[in-house]
Amino acid sequence: MKRRHFFFFSGGLAIAGLGYLSQNIKTQTHPLPTNADRLLEPPNFRFVSIADSGTGSKSQYDVAGAMKGYYDQNPYPLVVMAGDNIYNNGEIEKVEAVFERPYQPLLDRGVRFQACLGNHDIRTDNGNPQVAYPGFNMKGRYYSFHEENIQFFALDTNYETDWKSQLTWLENELSRSQAAWKIVFGHHQIYASGHYGYNEFLAPKLTPLFAQYGVQLYINGHEHHYERTHPLRGTTYITCGCAAGLRPVGRSQWTAYSASRLGFAAYEVYGDRMIVQAIATDGTVFDRGIVKFN
């Protein structure tokens, strides 16, 4: 599933299903609240997301330092980890070097990390040691949890997983959810403009469920860049696999913003909107967008 770079070339379609995408992608723009508005109205909940983090490299520490800097100004209780938590082969004996030490300042303040499994994580015992590791707070290979008026759904998006059981579980969970905000996260991209691009395996499995049950946000890694899409059938897709390393990224017809830049994504959830910011290692906000409640 390598990317067909800038996949819609002149003279024809570059991937099967682009006609379907063209009919269903709606580009929406919404005015962002002013800084004054945001000061008057604190968010109901705040969290951040990272992915492809577990290297123990200087780059990982730089991003972790920026996460701590953001916490000092905007405290948050939750970090969503969208997979590849331990490079290169998911060896749990590395967890101190690639997780506990880099994020110790946040862990010391009680910040909780909620992880899912990436393709590197399942190379050791199919990822089971990570599922059992208390610091990743995984209730299984796929699971859900609530925060305020949000329900999060963590997926195992590896191709080898039991997709029949997982999709049955996901539909049941989504159909029963009474949460105002539904956020799904998994390691692999669905819409992205980097090395892998549009995911022909995952898209037909997941996007119809997202549309049917009103999932507003999908968070992923796997692609080592940052990217925010326009809302696609009501769902915004955030790629944030830039927590320790980078690859080049382009743009696609779904792209609202993309950058090959180290950093993390920060989210402020209000009653009727969610503010998404991409924050670099120097604390610079290099993207800011809004997800409207639907």
pLDDT tens by residue, 192-244? 999 999 999 999 999 999 999 999 999 999 999 999 999 999 999 999 999 99
- Top pLDDT among 276 and 3 is at 276
* Domain assignment present for 8: no
Phi, psi of 138 (to 5 degrees): -90, 130
The total number of structural domains that make up the chain? 1
Q: Global pTM? A: 0.89
In a domain, 160, yes or no: yes
Residue 52 lies in a domain: yes
Give the containing element (helix H, strand E) for 292.
strand 285-292
Number of Cα atoms under 13 Å in the Cβ half of residue 86:
27
| Residue at 184 is within a domain | yes
Is residue 294 predicted with pLDDT exceeding 70? yes
In a domain, 3, yes or no: no
In this prediction, residue 40 carries a pLDDT of 63
Phi, psi of 281 (to 5 degrees): -65, -25
* Mean pLDDT calculated for residue range 244-264: 98
Residue type, 132: A
Helical H segments across 41-158, by residue range: 58-73, 95, 104-107, 128-132
Domain with 122 in it: what CATH number?
3.60.21.10
Contact 246, 225 (CB under 8 A): yes
Of residues 19 and 267, more confidence is placed in 267
Q: Residue 160: which domain range? A: 41-292
Which alpha helices (H) appear in 74-216, and where do they start and end?
95, 104-107, 128-132, 163-176, 203-213
- Please say whether the beta carbons of 121 and 222 come within 8 A: no
| Rounded CA Rg of the chain | 18
Whether 32 maps to a domain, the answer reads no
